[in-house]
A and B are shown apart, each in its own frame.
Chain A
Amino acid sequence: MGLTRDSCGSAVTQVRPCVAATAPIVIALAGNPNTGKSTVFNALTGMNQHTGNWPGKTVTHAQGTFRHRGVAYTLIDLPGTYSLLANSVEEEVARDFIYHACPHATVVVADATCLERNLNLVLQIMELTPRVVLCVNLVDEARRKGIQVDSSRLERELGIPVVLTAARRGEGLDELKEALARVAGGEVASYPSWPVYDPELETGIARLMDHLQPLGESVPRRWLAIRLLEGDSDVHLKLVSAYREKGELARANALDAAGEAAVGWRGDLPADAIRDRLVTAIFRRTEEVAGLAVSQRKPRGIDWDRRLDDILTSRWLGIPIMLILLGVIFWITVSGANYPSELLARALFWGQDRLTDLFTVWGAPAWLHGVLVLGMYRGLAWVVSVMLPPMAIFFPLFTLLEDLGYLPRVAFNLDRYFRRAGAHGKQALTMSMGFGCNAAGVIACRIIDSPRERLIATLTNNLVPCNGRFPFLISLASIFVTGGTAVGLRSMGAAATVVGLVLFGILVTLGVSWLLSRTLLRGIPSSFSLELPPYRPPQIGRILVRSIFDRTLFVLGRAVTVAAPAGAITWILGNTYVGGLSLIQHGAAFLQPLAHLIGLDGVILAAFILALPANEIVMPIILMTYLATGSMIELDSLSALREVLVGHGWTWLTALSAMLFSLLHFPCSTTLLTIKRETHSSRWTLLAALIPTGVALLVCLVVTQTVRLLGLA
């Protein structure tokens, strides 16, 4: 079902977004990035929302519903953009939705603290549709900064309804709904006052609008004329072919005639020159409007944003602070997750015993009990108890930094290094997301708008450890690196070791990016711009909801769906004996020579391969094979774990190699599937598995052989 309204049926094309509207009245939500657009979206729709992708595009799409005075509305969240001139996929998606789906109203969210810049998008949308409501958000923050926005003056200048909101606190939302209802219901006739261009352009626009007369009243002819004037062939061709398809030849011909007139009018004027004049005129107007409607009282006190930036992006402290923050987050995650992990494990393994009782009562065959309880249930129990607590700590902490506005500063601090590697500064952000979950990190690569750099970021995302691998790294670090010291020191030592590994992962990320950008993905880094938004007081409630529901449970759900079958298969492989050895042991024996070269043993390597679906089951498989118990086990203390490992020939070199291999090896199957989906290419997906694996083998080989040569272990 399309969102197309009858009233503008004439303008419908094949690019109609196939979004299923759950309520008949459709409202589009547009706005610059970092304006609190998603806060407005959440505040309006509450929990009634779901997300997905725009059809055929890797651009996230969210929609929700809300009710006002008994009427239901569908709210479509358009991608955050600075402009609608289709310089990126996001802009194209937003533009096409407003043009083709003709929402009953479009609300543009603007940031009250930098209204002038936001007005650019507002004016562009006003040209595209008259049914616009301007929502000036973050007025609370503006007040704090001594900025006053005069909404009635804005309304007069723009000719559209303006509502001031502080969506975080729920301020102004009722007024916003009311304004939307009135615009959508046609109760308010808005007369957007468009930016006026120079006389020459205006004459051209008027002439083209005459040509476009046959298209009808519902089409934004002025907007269309401007696009033709500046030679936007994308808009032109899409519309013409749509009209042709529907057999509306008169309209298609009118459009073509207008297109030809535009070519004639342009003569040999370069397209850039026209775009310049258009954009300059729009910005002149934004300055004018902002000058009239925004007043800045003398800012009281200190500019906290600059003060904070003085520290967080300072020459000497910027990067150390970043590392310390990272270390602190790991430390809180490590030390905080221990106890709940243990509790969960105890509860879940208690559940296993009860299940076993049930199976005994029923007299179920041993193999069934093995596959379902010892394999599947145990695998699940392990994954949940190991993953859930650290994720429930890590993701909120990470989201907190995101909410504060710290992450763009990380990109700002690190961009130079990524650029030298031929990559994009925003890769620092997608890499950080990878700490939570590499699949999430790969999806996050969408924020990088040039295909080459996006691919580099996608292929290297796995080189930083995700939550599924942290417990493995952390437990090995605590056992082998700082064995014997006091407990507090030990967790700090483990955290420091993990930070060291992470830094190494980042170095490898940069190295591989560098190699890729000089070989397979040659090219110069494309243009880079990064907004450093004002710091915002975090919204704890929203952080918890978002990080628990959107991230923790989402990632856990995926892990669980792969861990259950993986657990069953592992049990079968561990309990099918051929010639006195289980299949896993056969595999391990086969892998032993290679594994020995890189400092591992066959069992460890086999475990990494079997754990393709979920990295968190590496340790259980290793233990299961060592102890030949035939099912994944949980050892209740680190010292017991240490005894088993050392008993099977582990040295600190084994632990180091295992940690390095875990850090660098192939991505889990979920991440690979995500890469496949995002790149639409089996070749890149294959490379995404081969490159890290090659790096892991090489690094482990060099480290092991060097250590052995020096006789250190």
Chain B
Amino acid sequence: MAIGVDGLSSALADLAPGRCGLVTSLLATGLPRRRLLDLGFVPGTRVESVRRSPAGDPTAFALRGATIALRHEEADLITIRVL
């Protein structure tokens, strides 16, 4: 389900392409969590969902001036507030 209602809390994975959100928390633990942090997915970060791959997954996200593709499982572990 692609969510696009302002102010709603959701998983980054469900953010519709073209919409933006603010990272609120990370549900990942251990190494995956540290990787996401290093890429800049820290709470308060503005993230835009840019596009999905031709096969529907992964999805490219724009944050901090870079474009990073994440698979659904990883993006599912990032909660956001839809902007």
Residues on A facing B (Cβ under 8 Å): 82-83, 85, 87, 113-117, 120, 272, 275-276, 279-280, 283-284, 286-287, 305-306, 309-310, 313-316, 318-319, 412-417, 419, 425, 525-533
Contacts and interface: CB of A to CB of B under 8 A. Distances in A.
A310 B18 CA distance: 12
Contact of B35 (A87, A117, A309, A315): A87
Contact of A85 (B34, B50, B56, B73): B34
Contacts of B38: 82-83, 85, 87, 120, 279
Contacts of A532: 60, 67-69
A448 B31 CA distance: 15
Contacts of B65: 113-117
6 contacts: A114-B64, A116-B64, A117-B40, A117-B66, A415-B58, A529-B36
Interface of B: 26, 28-40, 42-45, 50-58, 60, 63-71, 73-74
B75 to A, nearest CB: 10
Given A279-B38, A283-B42, A528-B58, A419 B71 contact: yes
B2 to A, nearest CB: 15
Given A83-B38, A87-B38, A413-B53, A530 B58 contact: yes
Contacts, number: 123
A527 B35 contact: yes
Given A283-B45, A313-B54, A416-B57, A87 B34 contact: yes
A314 B54 contact: yes
B33 A272 contact: yes
Contacts of B42: 276, 279-280, 283
A313 B32 contact: no
A148 to B, nearest CB: 14
Contacts of A287: 64
Contacts of A315: 52, 54
B54 A419 contact: no
B56 to A, nearest CB: 7
Contact of B66 (A85, A310, A531): A531
Nearest to B77: A527
Nearest to B53: A412
Contact of B32 (A114, A416, A527): A527
Contacts of B51: 309-310, 313
A530 B33 CA distance: 15
A633 B14 CA distance: 62
Contacts of A417: 55
Contacts of A305: 67
Nearest to B34: A87
A419 B57 contact: yes
Nearest to A145: B65
Given A280-B43, A419-B57, A528 B68 contact: no
Contacts of A120: 38, 40
B68 A275 contact: no
A648 B53 CA distance: 49
A412 to B, nearest CB: 5
A531 B67 contact: yes
Contacts of B54: 313-316, 318-319, 413
Looking at chain A's contact residues, is the secondary structure mostly helix, strand, loop, or mixed? helix
Contacts of B31: 87, 527
A309 B69 CA distance: 13
Contact of B68 (A272, A309, A527, A530): A530
A62 B9 CA distance: 46
Contact of B56 (A284, A316, A416): A416
Contacts of B36: 529
A529 B40 contact: no
Contacts of A319: 54
Nearest to B58: A415
B68 A529 contact: yes
B9 to A, nearest CB: 19
Given A115-B65, A272-B29, 18 more contacts: A87-B31, A114-B66, A116-B65, A117-B66, A275-B37, A279-B42, A280-B42, A280-B43, A283-B64, A412-B53, A412-B58, A416-B53, A416-B55, A417-B55, A529-B36, A529-B69, A531-B69, A532-B68
A275 B66 CA distance: 22
A306 B50 contact: yes
B74 A528 contact: yes
Contacts of A318: 53-54
B66 A415 contact: no
A287 B45 CA distance: 10
B57 A415 contact: yes
A55 to B, nearest CB: 24
A345 B30 CA distance: 58
A343 B78 CA distance: 60
A528 B37 contact: no
A305 B40 CA distance: 21
Nearest to B26: A276
Contacts of B40: 117, 120, 283
B35 A529 contact: yes
A257 B9 CA distance: 44
Nearest to B75: A529
Which 5 pairs from chain A and chain B are nearest by CB?
Answer: A114-B65, A416-B55, A83-B38, A318-B54, A527-B32
Contacts of A114: 64-66
Contact of A527 (B63, B66, B74): B74
A417 B38 CA distance: 26
A414 B71 CA distance: 12
A380 to B, nearest CB: 45
A528 B34 contact: no
Nearest to A294: B65
A113 B64 CA distance: 10
Contacts of A412: 53, 58, 60, 69
Nearest to B55: A416
Contacts of A85: 34, 38
A351 to B, nearest CB: 51
A593 to B, nearest CB: 44
Contacts of B55: 413-417
A419 B31 CA distance: 19
Nearest to A277: B42
Nearest to B28: A527
Contacts of A87: 31, 34-35, 38
A529 B70 contact: yes
The interface centre, meaning the residue of A280, A314, A530 with most chain B CB atoms within 10 A of its CB, is A530
Contacts of A531: 66-69
Given A528-B74, A529-B74, A117 B64 contact: yes
A419 B42 CA distance: 26
Contacts of B50: 306, 309
A318 B53 CA distance: 9
